[in-house]
Amino acid sequence: MKEQKRDVILRGLICGGEVSLAVADTTQLVNEAIRVHGLSPLAAAALGRTLTAAAYMCSSLKEERGALSVTIKGDGAGGTVCVSGDKKLHMRGYIDNPLADLPPNAAGKLDVGGCVGHSGTLTVVRDDGDAVPFVGTTELVSGEIGEDFAAYFAYSEQLPTAVAVGVKIGTGGKCLGAGGVFLQPMPGASEESVAYAEGMIARFGAVSSLMENHTAEEVWRTFFGDTDAESVYALHPVYKCNCSRDYIEGLLAAMGEEELFSILREQGKISVHCHYCNTDYVFTEEDVRRMLAAREREKNGAKDDSLRPE
């Protein structure tokens, strides 16, 4: 039985340190998104490509508290695509229409461009942990995701980046291979290094098939040669939502007793849906009273502690 590969993003420098290279295998990340959201093959391809590109971006966050979110608003059948992640590469995302379906495109492949749309915007909000988020927005180029992220890097971050991302879905709806290759010339890189990056990315039109049959390490070694292990590092993205019932309770408690009981009178319960993990949290009147009482005890306890002598 073939051993299941672990998702990984390999990062390092090539071309004498003039080009940053990343090779990503995100097959399991996409399969978890399919499981959580019940995605159609087309929706899985659109969300999976976005998860892969966002995971690559998260792998360059500098601070432990760093976080990033990507929102693609297009005019396609899938609607808006949203992905969030952090420095730990805890990734999560959703697509408005998880059952989106279209005929194959002219090349006979999943019509991701039609799913996302050819008109719209790609917005990235990146917080490197300094409480001053950077927000960048670019117009969609094709809706194929890879080209759209390449345009974002070039115009919004002024970092020309060659991007190839792909997702291959089998007949049973399972992701067989997903991943990406990212080549980013460093500031001051020679024309030869820039040309090399541009030329190499054209060889990854079927990157998802490569990830189906090879490890990220094998892809790196085959296309870019052996590299000193000390100059390459590995990061492991996983699909993980940060929400929990306790977290939701904290948000609700902050709304105040009056507003919470107003919702209860109107609806009989309070329902909160997390789009990222497709989880519904339901709170009854009893839950709300218990939650508010616990919050009051915490506040009183904090006051008592503040009065204790040194």
Which of 239, 266, 286 represents a domain boundary (last residue)?
Answer: 239
Are 201 and 276 in a shared domain? no
Number of domains observed in the structure of the chain: 2
The domain that holds 250 is classified in CATH as 3.90.1280.10
Q: What is the mean pLDDT of residues 237-252?
A: 90
Select from 239, 254, 283 the last residue of a domain.
239
Structural domain of 83: 8-239
Alpha helices in the chain (DSSP H): 27-37, 41-58, 112-116, 146-155, 191-201, 207-213, 216-224, 245-253, 257-267, 285-307
| Among candidate residues 202, 218, 239, the one where a domain is terminated | 239
φ, ψ of residue 257 in degrees (nearest 5): -60, -45
Do residues 90 and 242 make contact, with C-beta atoms less than 8 angstroms apart? yes
Tell me 158's DSSP state: S
Query: Is residue 2 in some structural domain?
Result: no
pLDDT at 129: 75
Predicted pLDDT of residue 132: 80
Same domain, 42 and 163: yes
Which residue in this structure is represented by tokens 């993990």? 277
Q: For 273-286, what is the mean pLDDT?
A: 92
pLDDT value for 230: 58
Which long-range contacts link 81-86 to residues 24+ away (Cβ below 8 Å)? Answer: 81/46, 81/47, 81/50, 81/116, 82/275, 82/276, 83/47, 83/50, 83/51, 83/54, 84/54, 84/276, 85/54, 85/55, 85/57, 85/58, 85/237, 86/58, 86/61, 86/242
305: pLDDT strictly greater than 60? no
φ and ψ at 83, to 5 degrees? -140, 140
For residue range 245-279, list pLDDT tens digits in order: 888 988 898 888 899 999 999 999 999 999 999 99
